[in-house]
Amino acid sequence: MPIKRAAMKSLRSDKKKHDTNLATKSEIKTLKKNIVKKIVKNETTDIQLSLKDFCSSVDKAANKGILHKKNAARKISRISKKISFITKS
């Protein structure tokens, strides 16, 4: 447990940041799972809207520093590749 006042405050703010970061990462994972389910079911009409939501949330997380920029680009690239493979077939 921190003794100094500033250390206590930083502990509180770190906990808040940690919780918001976890919520954002969880949202990204949920969106990805939903897209994968739609890929399996071959729902091509609704997949583009889901991809748009996924890309925007991943980009926001990367801009805020929750995800690394290259990590975000990799996630978007992999999902886009799966979708393009399904839509071509």
Q: Where are the domains of the chain?
A: 5-88
**pLDDT tens-digit series, residues 52-62:** 999 999 999 99
Q: Helix 69-88 vs helix 5-41: angle between axes, to the nearest 10 degrees?
A: 10
Mean pLDDT of 5-19: 96
Whether residue 18 has pLDDT greater than 90: yes
Whether residue 12 has pLDDT greater than 90: yes
Rounded CA Rg of the chain: 17
Chosen CATH of 5-88 out of 3.10.180.10, 3.30.450.20, 1.10.10.10, 1.20.58.110: 1.20.58.110
Q: Provide the pLDDT for residue 33.
A: 97
Whether residue 1 has pLDDT greater than 90: no
Global pTM value? 0.87
